[in-house]
């Protein structure tokens, strides 16, 4: 491939939007992986609870920013290529995305606020922390497995 052909492909609007869509996925999945891993790691590293609570609030914004970028670019891609909406791949991906988004809302609205309440007294609140770890662990696991399943699904299908 010549340089001019590579440059022409790089400035193609479809290529740029697809790259931005991919970048949104990388941003969201990276932040989700770190945030949810922190929630799961708390069981073994209790002393980091206050730090993790502060980081999770910041990383939550990063996840939602990545999801926003995915949504905006996804809407554009759908509007330009509506034939993709009718395929099994797209529909299955959207079901998975819906599950991940609903789960993310629960994490953002229920798990993170409770985490912030418990973080400073993590070692002193054993019963409450144990209940929280179970509750948060389920949603963190759904989140991390959901996002990575979507990426694996896309990779295996050969579409981005």
In tens digits, what is the pLDDT along the chain, a chain of 160 residues?
677 777 777 788 888 898 999 999 999 999 999 988 887 787 777 788 888 888 888 998 999 999 999 999 999 999 998 888 888 888 998 999 999 999 999 988 998 888 888 888 777 777 888 888 888 889 989 999 999 999 888 888 765 4
**pTM score over 0.85:** no
Look up the domain containing 63 and give its range.
Answer: 3-157
Tokens in use for 64?
Answer: 């939602």
**How far apart are alpha carbons 66 and 23 in whole angstroms?**
8
- Write down the pLDDT at residue 133: 83
- Write down the pLDDT at residue 96: 94
CA 14 from centroid of its chain's CA atoms: 23
Give the number of domains in the chain. 1
**How far apart are alpha carbons 82 and 78 in whole angstroms?**
5
DSSP the chain: --HHHHHHHHT-HHHHHHHHHHHHHHHHHHHHHHHHHHHHHTTT-GGGHHHHHHHHHHHHHHHHHHHHHHHHHHHHHHHH-GGGGGSHHHHHHHHHHHHHHHHHHHIIIIIHHHHHHHHTTTTT-HHHHHHHHHHHHHHHHHHHHHHHHHHHHHHHHT--
- Write down the pLDDT at residue 25: 92
Residue 94: Cβ within 10 Å count: 14
């Amino acid at each position: 491939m010549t340089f001019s052909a590579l440059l022409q492909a790089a400035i193609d609007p479809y290529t740029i939007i697809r790259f931005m869509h991919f970048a949104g996925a990388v941003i969201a999945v990276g932040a989700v992986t770190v945030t949810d891993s922190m929630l799961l790691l708390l069981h073994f590293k209790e002393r980091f609870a206050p730090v993790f609570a502060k980081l999770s609030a910041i990383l939550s914004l990063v996840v939602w920013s990545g999801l926003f970028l995915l949504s905006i670019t996804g809407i554009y891609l759908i509007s330009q290529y509506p034939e993709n909406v009718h395929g099994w791949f797209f529909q299955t991906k959207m079901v998975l995305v819906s599950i991940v988004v609903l789960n993310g809302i629960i994490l953002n609205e229920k798990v993170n606020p409770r985490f912030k309440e418990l973080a400073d007294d993590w070692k002193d609140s054993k019963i409450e922390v144990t209940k929280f770890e179970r509750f948060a662990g389920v949603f963190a696991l759904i989140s991390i497995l959901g996002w990575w399943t979507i990426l694996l699904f896309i990779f295996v299908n050969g579409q981005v």
